[in-house]
Every structure is written in structure tokens, then in C-alpha cells.
Structure 1
Amino acid sequence: MQNIIEALLPIFFLIILGYFFKRIKFPNEEFWASSDKFTYYVLFPALLIYKLSTASLEGIDGFNFILSAFLTMIVLTLSLMLFNRFIKKFKGDAFTSIYQGAIRFNTYVFLALIDAIFGDSGLVLAALLMTFMIPLINVFCISIFSVYAASNKITIKSFLLSIIKNPLIMGCVVGGLLNFFGITLFTPLEKTLGILSSAALPLGLLSVGVGLHLSHIKEAKLELIVAIIVKLVVYPFVIYFIAKALGITGLALLVLVVFGSMPTASSAYILARQLGGDLKLMSAVITMQTLLSILSISAILMILQNQF
């Protein structure tokens, strides 16, 4: 219990600190926009390449590990669509924001939490999961927009290019290939990546705090509650039972549960803006899930602490 809280609190303190900096406008808004871009395109790829290129990948049941997350996404997608069809018919733009809130995950919080609790072994599994799930989640989300929001602003070509050029996926692929072929990086280069990677998590978490918008929370009601419950409660338990059914145990199981417990990503707001989602609802979902996730993640990990 104490170890879990001690691992979680610094992460959420950094998020709160980021929000505090935003409120006092220090540094200015332009700084945070540039910082977020630098973290996304430079620091996190450096972290993933550095960790994956030197990691031990032996003993990982990669297929069932990824399959567990994929099946969970299918189950939740169908459940949400049936819920919206037969029980509560949300407006199309609102449903797309609920769906993104229930399916997406915050990469910065995910990697920071995995690193704090499980260290390098957990980061390797997290990177493997991200390599496959980031493209799949984007496919599912855009498909939902095409059905419920009828937007044609993203073509198949532009979508595929966005996946190929995603710096997080590229970092995972490069690091994985270096590991697979046994290529050892030039020592000064490896140390440079190590120094860069040490800045990735703190800057990423500060950016999460900067992206919070508390003013939008009061404007969303049932839709916000549904998105919170599905993402922070239903998702982690569904992925747990599916993974157990597929024989996943130990560290891999815990990484999957943490993955399922993550608040949604700030990138969900960008996609909602591009494709006609409910922006205020999406902002409220991101903010409330991020704030409440410290409680939900703590509770879930406490339940599973006998597996540490």
C-alpha cells in the first residue's frame, strides 16, 4: 500500500505542478506548446530507443500479451455501441468523445507510472504494448468518428502517414530492431540517449498538467460519468480477466492492468477538434479522468498487490 502511494504521488504532484505553472502563466503559453512538441518528438523517442535497445526480451509471450489488450478494446467498443444503441442514445459528437475517453490512454502517465513501479522490465513491456496499440486505437477511434460524426477530414493516406510518422511508434520500432539484431550503440551515443531520456518523463507529466481545463467540467453530466466509469473502472477489470483467460501472469498482467487504468490522452482533444467531436466534453473527460485516476489506480493496484 505505502509503496504504491509513494510511486503514484510524485507523478501526480508533477501533473499538479504543471497546472500550477499554467495558472501563473510561467513560463508562457508558447513555451509549453514548444516543450510538448519537443518531448513528443525528441525526448520520448530517445527514452524508448534507449530502454528497448538494451532490454532483455526473453520469456515474453508477446502474442497473447498484445491479444489481451486488443480483445479488451473490441469488447469495450461493442459494449459502448450497444449501450448507446439500446439504452442511452447520446448525440453523435458526444458519443465520439465518450468513446475516445474510454479507449485512449495517456502515454506520458503510462510510461512514468510503469517506470516508477516496475522499472526497466516494465518499460519494455509497455513499449511493446504501445507499438501495436497506438495504431489500433487510432484505427478504432477514426472508425467511430466515420460512423457517428460523418467527418471526411482525414483520408486513408493521411491516416497511414500519421501512423508511420508517429515518433513513439518509430522509437519503439528502432529500439526493438537494435535489440533484435544485437546492434550495440556507440557508447557516447547511448549515453546521450540516456541523458535525453531522463528528461522525458518529468517534462511529459508537466505537459499533462498544463493541458488540464477545470472550467469545462461543470458543463458535462451523464456523458462524463460514463466515460470515467468505463475507463477507470470497467477497462482495467475487463483487461485483467481477458489476460488471465489467455494465461498472462506476473509482471505482464500488471502492466496490462495499469495500461487499462490510464486516463485518456490529451491527443483525444486534437482528434475531436479535427473530426467534429464534442470539444468541451472531451476536455472535461481528459481533466476528470486524469485527476481521479490517482484514486482508481491506487485502489486497483492495492487489490492486485499480492501479485507484486
Structure 2
Amino acid sequence: MFFAVLKIILPTFGWVLAGLVLNRVGLLPPSINERFSRLAFTYGLPVMLFAGAAQVNYREMGGASYLYAGVIASVTVFFASWQYSKLRGHARAQQGVFVQAAFRSNLAIVGIALAYSAYGERGTALAALPVALLTMLYNVLAVWVLNVTLGAGTTVRAVILGVLKNPLIIGISAGAVFSLRYYPPPDLLQPLSAGLSAFFLPAMLICIGGAMNVSRLYRAGGLAWEASAWRLVLGPGLGVLIALAFDVRGEALGVLFLLLATPVAVSGHVMVVAARGDGVLAANITVLTTLLSLLSITLGFFLLSAFSLVGELR
């Protein structure tokens, strides 16, 4: 069972490691990395997510309990980590960075890649709606906490409008609407989804690795380790408990765990820098959680599999 889980987790992080190595030897310069990431984010991933979401009959999916569980878990971690940060006496300017790291996972790239690795195209399809819903929620909560702790001038309205223009959200929403049809999906959708997933997911994971600066780990302080514990252990654990309380089992639980257990999203670092916050701390947490998540996700998913809670894997 443990090796079956490793077969799911290792390929995803193997691509991240490959990107890190390619960057170190000079074969993946930042300019190329940035251009390809923008291409994939604007066109490749949205089309892939559209094709996946369009194949699912959401009326027969067993309800939206796993969506509710994901939202409740994220909001709970948001408020609990903020209160924890205050009680620990963290500097006000660091509280926003800490809280955002605690609740904000890398849904759209690492989460989708893990769901696909575990369950194939069914995993991608099941992950589509949570990715759309949680992405919107994450952005609103991030603006809230950064505005309060850093005095950032971004409004929630501007963030919501920005999210609605997000290519990933547009692709997922269009796919979900298309899935409501009352006729079989076109035969083209399945191979399209499979082909795009096979190309763009590894490519985006390589880009994540290529953007990492491991030397930052030497300067990672206790605050970064605390935030990593919230992101990789407390957050996913709470999500699983809430999902079980909602009677979520099988593939839906597996996908939800993989989405909530991923490392901190790079977009969180971008938002902190834009708000003139502690960009070094945010970058440290991003690198640290990316490296540690290989262990935490493997162990967490293994435990869920051992108790037969996450359905049949690929």
C-alpha cells in the first residue's frame, strides 16, 4: 500500500526536482520559465480543466459535501491561524504572511497534478470545482488579512473582478456549464483532457521547481516552520475531519485531501510583495512547504488509504 502511494506522489515532486536541477545548470532561465508559465496559465491549463470538468455529471457525483467541507476547513484554518499568530506574539506585519501561508494551498498546479496522478482524468474532473471555488475564497481571504495587517490598499471588489477574469476560473466554469447538457459528451473531450494533462501538468511542475531558490532555506526561521506545520499538517488534518463529518468518502475525500495538503501557492508570495510585506518570509515558507510536502502528503495519503477512505487508486 505504501509503495502504491509513493507511485502517485513521487512523479509529481520528481518534476519539481527536475525543474530545480534544470535551473541550477542554466537550462531553464527565469525568462523562459516565466514565458512558458504564462502560456500554460492562460491557455493550456484552462482548456485542460474545461475538458475535465465538462465530462463530469455533477448531478450524479454524490452531492457537493466535499465542496462544503473544503470551504469550511479553509475558513476555519484562516481564523484559527490568525488567532494563533496573535497569541504567539508575532509582529503585526508578519501575521498576514503567516495566516495566508497557513490556509492557502497550491490548488491549480500541484493539487490538480496529484489528483490526476491518483485517479486519472476522474481526479482532474473532481478537483475542478473545488479549485474554482477555493481559488476565489483564497483570494478574498488573502486580501482581507493583508489589508488588516499590512495596510494594503487592494479592495475585495477588485480582487473578485480579477478572479472572475482568471483563465482557470473561466475554463472550469465553462466546463461545469457544459456538463449540464443532456446528451453524451463529444468523443474528443476525453483524449483532449488526457493529452493536455500529460503535457501541461509536468511542464508546470518543472516551472515551479525552476522558480525555487533553495538557498533561502538556510535563512528560514521559526516562523516559517510554524507556518509550514499549519499548511502541511493542521490544515489538511482539519479538512479530513470536517469531510468525514460530512460523510465524504472515496475519491472525493482523496481529491479534497490532495488539494488541501499541497504546499503554499506561489501566488501568495506575489500578493505579499505587492502589499509591501515580508517577501523573504513568504518565499522561505513557499520553498520549505514545497520540499516538506513530499513527506507530509505521502504519509497522510498512506494513512487514508490504509483505512480504505480514499477509494481505488489508478
TM range (shorter): over 0.9
SS in 1 for 2:60: coil
Number of the residue aligned with 2:8:
7
Please tell me the residue identity of whatever aligns with 2:79.
L
The within-5 A match list for 1:225-304 is 225-304=225-304
Number of the residue aligned with 1:84:
85
The within-5 A match list for 1:1-308 is 1-86=2-87, 88-106=88-106, 107-152=108-153, 154-182=154-182, 195-305=195-305, 306-307=307-308, 308=311
Q: In 1, are the aligned partners of 2:233 and 2:261 still within 8 Å (CA)?
A: yes
Distance 1:63 1:37, change over 3 A: same
Q: In 1, are the aligned partners of 2:69 and 2:246 still within 8 Å (CA)?
A: yes
Cα offsets for 1:54-75 (capped at 9, x unmatched): 2333432443222111111222
Distance in 2, Cα, partners of 1:252 & 1:198: 22
Distance in 2, Cα, partners of 1:162 & 1:175: 20
SS in 2 for 1:210: helix
Q: In 2, are the aligned partners of 1:69 and 1:256 still within 8 Å (CA)?
A: yes
Distance 1:183 1:209, change over 3 A: farther
Distance in 2, Cα, partners of 1:196 & 1:32: 18
Distance 1:151 1:2, change over 3 A: same
Q: Which moved more, 1:200-209 or 1:74-83?
A: 74-83
- Post-superposition offset of 1:42: 0.9
Q: In 2, are the aligned partners of 1:43 and 1:199 still within 8 Å (CA)?
A: no
Structure 1 length as normaliser, TM-score?
0.93
Distance in 2, Cα, partners of 1:130 & 1:286: 19
Structure 2 length as normaliser, TM-score?
0.91
Query: CA RMSD of the aligned region, Å?
Result: 1.9
Please tell me the residue identity of whatever aligns with 1:297.
I
Distance 1:186 1:14, change over 3 A: same
Q: In 1, are the aligned partners of 2:53 and 2:126 still within 8 Å (CA)?
A: no
- Structure 1 gap ranges (5+): none
- Structure 2 gap ranges (5+): none
- Post-superposition offset of 1:191: 5.6
Distance 1:189 1:92, change over 3 A: same
Distance in 1, Cα, partners of 2:220 & 2:73: 26
Distance in 1, Cα, partners of 2:298 & 2:205: 18
Q: In 2, are the aligned partners of 1:93 and 1:276 still within 8 Å (CA)?
A: no
